[in-house]
Amino acid sequence: MAVYTRIGAEAMDALIARFDVGTLTSAKGIAEGVSNSNWIIETTGKSGGGARFILTVYEERTEVEELPFFLNLLDHLSAAGCPVPRTIHDVDGAPFREFVTDDGETKHLALIEFLPGVSADNPTPGQAEAVGRALAGIHLAALDYPAQRKNTMGHAAWRGFVADCEGRWGEIDSALEVVPTAVEDVIARWPRGLPQSVIHADLFPDNVLLVGDSVSGLIDFYFACTGPMVYDVAVTHAAWSFSGDGKRHDRAVGDAILRGYEAVRPLSSEERAALPIMSEGASLRFLLTRAYDWLFTPAGALVTKKDPLAFKRRYDFYQREGAGAFA
Amino acid sequence: MAVYTRIGAEAMDALIARFDVGTLTSAKGIAEGVSNSNWIIETTGKSGGGARFILTVYEERTEVEELPFFLNLLDHLSAAGCPVPRTIHDVDGAPFREFVTDDGETKHLALIEFLPGVSADNPTPGQAEAVGRALAGIHLAALDYPAQRKNTMGHAAWRGFVADCEGRWGEIDSALEVVPTAVEDVIARWPRGLPQSVIHADLFPDNVLLVGDSVSGLIDFYFACTGPMVYDVAVTHAAWSFSGDGKRHDRAVGDAILRGYEAVRPLSSEERAALPIMSEGASLRFLLTRAYDWLFTPAGALVTKKDPLAFKRRYDFYQREGAGAFA
């Protein structure tokens, strides 16, 4: 949670004026997003009725060359009826803009549709089923998305994190010393040739807005990439069906994710068979980034460190349960 | 900027249901406020048209016994037509509520009207004049406010900060070693018997929302107290008419603060004569809290340290210019 960029009122006025959305009436920095800065923006709207947007300023960790992939994807999915915020294009038709901050740095920003809804903390099976349906919906809608993007959090990245953390697992917890072996084991057993689409790859409860049991928004597509659809199901299962610390698995929620997904897009037998190993891999992927952040985030950084063990426990669960983890 | 309290979606739903404002549709933690946690809340509204609010959770630095003073003051000023957000009372009529956080702590919260507007970074004389008028408006409207509150950032507090920082001024800058003497000098020359009301006592640009040159909201009354009205004028003059670092004084903005104020409430000759010493005092008050925070804020705290020298420069300006600083 943080706002890393300072934009004064006059500068904000001028930035918003580059979009055909009326004049600025309010701008409040929000405590969301770990890599980018975000504001809730209010304007008079084009017809004077008032309108709201999320303004995102991309900070160091986002590659500008990748913005068209992410921002056009939102438009593609939204046009297909998925609950995804549209990108507001500027008066020149561009989906993002360069600007100079008050501190003289050149950065990039985009204006995104504001969607209502709140994120679930203790998801119900009803909510999980809706999330499964929405996930299948974006997979199907993205099948004809023309662009591709490599998963920057794939196997090569896993090995990179393992190398970075070498010899230091015990600083977090000795239970993590098996991680290098587990990573190589999962990569060795990784199935190939599964059906691909654009996957969200980070669909945690934080990234889903709900109104009651309905999904009003899937957000934060900045890890979206081309990949096996069933890996996204595994990420979502790992993200939703455990207590935050990974100690308690909620079978009803996990089953509901799958039930919702398959109501829209049934898994093939190959995908079904891949679920356990994909889930082990998904658990390791988040274990690794958390371990890296744990060891390398400078003291005093404006982010909360998350416990890598929460995903070691998920990994252990999936290894132990195998296919029995899934309905 | 920070959100110190975690409130899950279900808990937030239940909290908002205690106010007669419709059902929750969105809640986003905002990066505002240094002592409290704040969210922008959206609900369906009572009549289904949608409504927005600021939810404030009071953290350690706010005394619960003082909340009625602050929250009833908002209602009093708003009812008098001042651009101040109303307190939304709960279904039992209470202006604030106790609740238990997800982490099991008992805290207090209030729901406040959301007001449009943005804070000026480089205020124009037109904006400063509007702020002066609004400040005089709250002074007049608060004359019949029935409650009193001592200024917790008054002379006793100044001496407390001086004692806390003893021997450590040089860690910030050797220019600050004169501060203990300056504080005693200002206290010795402090005029008594000036007309009092409830004063805001912290009316920095951050705490004023503007739509164009109109004041749409005065916010953050958590330093409001009973005190000499001209001291509030001095605080506002010091807050608005300098560059942030205190190196550049904007005479046109300073004059506009006074002109706007006096258009609504002319200063007496005693108040006029008190402006220089009040402004020296106002500068020292912010110098002292910044110096204390500079020396005692733990590394890694989620706040930005502000430079005490920015207010040493203002103090020097007011001492040098005397009555000549004011139109």
Nearest Cα residue in chain A from B49: A49
Residue with tokens 């204390």: B292
* Interface contact flag, B29 A27, Cβ < 8 Å: no
Confidence of residue B4 (pLDDT cuts 50, 70, 90): confident
Q: How far is A3 from chain B (nearest CA, A)?
A: 7
| Residues in B lying within 8 Å of A, measured between beta carbons | 1-3, 8-13, 24-32, 40, 42, 102, 116-122, 209-211, 299-300, 302
Q: Which of B116, B11, B111 is nearest to B53 (CA)?
A: B111
Which amino acid, residue A133?
R
Q: Write down how long chain B is.
A: 327
What's the whole-number mean pLDDT along residues B143-163?
Answer: 97
| pLDDT for the residue A63 | 86
From A189-198, B54-63, B74-83, the region with the lowest mean pLDDT? B54-63
Q: What is the DSSP letter of A278?
A: H
Question: Looking at residue B83, what DSSP letter applies?
Answer: S
Task: Answer yes or no: are the C-beta atoms of B13 and B24 closer than 8 Å.
Answer: yes
- Indicate the residue of B102, B210, B300 with minimum beta-carbon distance to A299: B300
Q: What is the predicted pLDDT for the residue at B79?
A: 97
Return the closest-CA partner of residue B126 out of B230, B303, B257. Answer: B257
Helix or strand run (H / E) with residue A17 = helix A9-17
Q: Give the 3-state secondary structure of residue A59.
A: coil
pLDDT band at B8 (very low <50, low <70, confident <90, very high): confident
Low-confidence winner among A63-67, B230-234, B241-245 (lowest mean pLDDT): A63-67
What is the predicted pLDDT for the residue at A101? 84
SS3 B219: coil
Q: Which residues contact A198 (CB under 8 A, 6 or more apart)?
A: A73, A138, A139, A142, A145, A149, A224, A225, A226
Query: Which chain A residues touch B118 with a CB distance below 8 Å?
Result: 9, 12-13, 24-27
CA distance A165 to B245: 42
pLDDT at B233 over 70: yes
Query: What pLDDT score does A302 carry?
Result: 53
Band (pLDDT 50/70/90 cuts) for residue B327 is confident
Give dist(CA B16, CA B181) in Å, integer. Answer: 51
- pLDDT over 90 (residue B85): yes
Q: What is the pLDDT of residues A221-236, one digit of tens each?
A: 999 999 999 999 999 9
Please give the domain boundaries of chain A with CATH numbers for all domains. Answer: 9-113 (3.30.200.20), 125-325 (3.90.1200.10)
Give the strand pairing for A97-100 and A37-43. unpaired
**Which two tokens mark B266?**
């002319």
Whether pLDDT at B148 is above 90: yes
Report the relative pairing of strands A51-58 and A106-113 from DSSP bridges: antiparallel
Q: Residues of A58-83 as b/e, b for ≥16 C-beta within 10 angstroms?
A: bbeebeeebbebbbebbbbbbebebb
Does A146 or A9 have the greater pLDDT score? A146
Choose between A154 and A50: higher pLDDT: A154
Which structure tokens are listed for A41? 């923006």
pLDDT digits (tens, 9 = 90+) for A79-138: 999 999 999 999 999 999 999 887 888 999 999 999 999 999 899 999 999 999 999 999
Tell me if A28 sits within 8 A of B32, measured CB to CB. Answer: yes
Q: Which residues pair with A88 in a beta bridge?
A: A111
Q: Is the pLDDT of residue B1 over 60?
A: no
Residues A195-204 pLDDT 10s = 999 999 999 9
Question: Looking at per-residue confidence, does A4 or A308 come out higher?
Answer: A308
Question: Cβ B29–A30 below 8 Å, yes or no?
Answer: yes
How many residues would you count in chain A? 327
Does B302 have pLDDT greater than 60?
no
Mean pLDDT for chain B?
93
Residue A106 carries which side chain, given as an amino acid letter? T
Amino acid at A101: T
The neighbour count for residue A273, using CB atoms within 10 Å, is 15
CA dihedral of B256, B258, B262, B266, whole degrees rounded to 10: -160
Q: What is the pLDDT of residue A1?
A: 40
CB B76 within 8 A of CB B141: yes
Among A7, A111, A1, A107, smallest CA distance to A51 is for A111
Chains A and B form CB pairs within 8 A to the count of 90
Tens-digit pLDDT profile for residues B183-199: 999 999 999 999 999 99
CB atoms within 10 A of CB B33: 20
Q: Are A116 and B40 an interchain contact pair (Cβ–Cβ within 8 Å)?
A: no
Mean pLDDT, rounded, of chain A = 93
Q: Kindly report the number of other CB atoms within 10 A of residue A310's CB atom.
A: 18
For an interface test with B, give the residue of A25, A43, A112, A215 to mutate (most B CBs within 10 A): A25
pLDDT of residue B2: 59
Q: Is the pLDDT of residue A33 over 80?
A: no
**Element (DSSP H or E) covering residue A169:** helix A169-172
- pLDDT-derived band at B299, boundaries 50, 70, 90: low
| Interchain proximity B210–A9, CB inside 8 Å | yes
Q: Is the pLDDT reported for residue A299 higher than 70?
A: no
User: Which residue in A12, A26, A300 is closest to B299 by CB distance?
Assistant: A300
User: Mean pLDDT across the stretch B261-278?
Assistant: 98
Q: Report the helix count and the strand count for chain A, using DSSP H and E.
A: 10, 10
Answer whether residue B110 shows pLDDT above 60: yes
Q: What residues are paired with A106 via a beta bridge?
A: A100
- Contacts A210 to B, Cβ<8 Å: 9
ipTM above 0.85, yes or no: no
% of chain B beyond a pLDDT of 70: 97
What's the average model confidence in pLDDT over A187-211? 97
Which residue did the predictor score with more confidence, A187 or B60?
A187
